[in-house]
Amino acid sequence: MAGDPLSPRLRTTLFGLEFANPVIAASGTFGYGVEMAPVVPLGMLGGFVVKGLSREPIRGNPPPRLWETPGGMINSVGLQNVGVRAFVRDKLPLLRGCGTRVIANVFGYEAQDYVEVIRVLEDAEGVDAYELNVSCPNTKHGGMFFSSDPRLLEEVTRGAVQAAKRPVIVKLSPNVARIGEMARAAEDSGAAAVSLVNTFLGLAVDARTRRPRLGAGYGGVSGPAIKPLALRLVREAALAVKIPVIGLGGILTGEDAAEFLIAGASAVETGTATMADPKAPLRIAAELDEFLREQGVERVPALVGTLEWPE
C-alpha cells in the first residue's frame, strides 16, 4: 500500500477538531464501528460515521435491500438501527478510546426527533460530532423532505444545533434543484459543516417479473457512477458557503479523494468502497498521501479548492 494513512501530510482540522487524515468511513457502510474493529485498525482511520440513529429502534425495509448496478449499487436498507439508547448502552462504551473521530449520524421524521436523539447522545462520552441525515420524510409537513425545503432544513438544523454542544454536520441530498441554497440554509442555521452527497433516488427493475429489484421499490444509488454528479454538487456547495464541505459519492481511490478536495471539499467520506472492502478508507488515505507526495503538496489544506476553472 503506497503512502501512509497517518502521514503528517494528511492531518487536517475541521470545525475545531483535528483529524489524522481526511478520509472518513460513511454512515451505513461501517456499522457502528464495533463490528469493524476486529478487521480494521480504527485508530488509523480519519474517522467514521455510525449507522443512523433514531429515537426508537427501526426494523428497516423488506428484502431484497441491495442490488448491484453498473458502476455501483442501489440500496434500500430503510435506516434499520437499534435506537439511540441501545447504541449508548451497548455500542458506544466499546468505541471509547478507539483512537479516531466518532461521528453519530442522526435522523428523524420531524425536527423534535433529531433533538431527542442528540439529547441522549449529549449525556454520553465518546462522540465527537453529529451528522444530520435530513433526507427522511417530515410527516408533519405533508411528507416533504427536510433536504428539499430551505425553511424545513433551517428548522431541523437550528433545533439540533441548539441541543448540541458538539459540532453539527448536515448531510445534504442530491435530489434538489439548488444545492447551494440548501447548503446556505444549513450554514445560516449554525451548522459547523455540510456533507454531500447522499444517494440519488433510483429504481432497479426485473424485466422478467416486471417488479422492482428491491423489496421497498425505490432505493439509493451510490458508487463510481455518481462521482461526476457528486463532484459538481460539492463544487457548487463549496462556492456557496464558508463552512467546511465534506464530499462523498463514488470515491474508490486516493486520486478520487484528491478530486473532491480540489473541487472544494475539506474532507471526504467513503461508502460503497467500504462495503466492498472495510479497509478501503485506509487504502484511499494512503493513496492520497502518495498523491500529495508526488504533487509536492505539503498538507491537505493546500489542495482544497484549487480547481482552475476555464475562462
Band (pLDDT 50/70/90 cuts) for residue 311 is confident
The pLDDT of residue 302: 97
Band (pLDDT 50/70/90 cuts) for residue 137 is low
The pLDDT of residue 263: 98
Region 39-45: mean pLDDT is 96
Domain borders along the chain are 8-60+78-201+222-302
Greatest alpha-carbon pair distance for the chain in Å reads: 55
State the sign of the Cα–Cα–Cα–Cα dihedral 17, 258, 98, 134: positive
Region 287-302: mean pLDDT is 97
Band (pLDDT 50/70/90 cuts) for residue 138 is very low
Region 23-49: mean pLDDT is 96
Angle at 242 between CA 239 and CA 247, to 5 degrees: 65
Return the bridge partners of 102, or none: 48
Q: Could you give the percent of the chain with pLDDT greater than 70?
A: 97
Burial of 233 (0-12, 13-18, 19+ CB in 10 A): buried
Region 184-200: mean pLDDT is 96
More confident residue, 145 or 226: 226
Q: Could you give the percent of the chain with pLDDT greater than 90?
A: 90
Band (pLDDT 50/70/90 cuts) for residue 1 is low
Q: Residue 45, CB half-sphere, CA atoms under 13 Å: how many?
A: 28
Candidate CATH numbers 1.50.10.20, 3.40.50.1110, 3.30.365.10, 3.20.20.70; the one for domain 8-60+78-201+222-302: 3.20.20.70
Band (pLDDT 50/70/90 cuts) for residue 135 is confident
pLDDT surpassing 80 at residue 140: no
Average pLDDT, rounded, for the chain = 94
pLDDT surpassing 70 at residue 139: no
The pLDDT of residue 39: 95
Q: 228-285 pLDDT, tens per residue? A: 999 999 999 999 999 999 999 999 999 999 999 999 999 999 999 998 899 999 999 9
Instruction: Enter the pTM of the model.
Output: 0.96
Whether 98 sits among the annotated catalytic residues: the reply is: no
Least confident of 12-21, 43-52, 171-180, 300-309: 171-180
- Residues 79, 136, 168, 230: which is the catalytic one? 136
pLDDT surpassing 70 at residue 26: yes
- Unique residue bearing C-alpha cell 435506516: 79
pLDDT surpassing 50 at residue 175: yes
The pLDDT of residue 80: 92
Q: 2-20 pLDDT, tens per residue? A: 799 999 999 999 999 999 9
Least confident of 29-43, 133-147, 240-254: 133-147
Region 190-204: mean pLDDT is 95
Q: 46-84 pLDDT, tens per residue? A: 999 999 999 999 998 999 999 999 999 999 998 899 999
The pLDDT of residue 24: 98
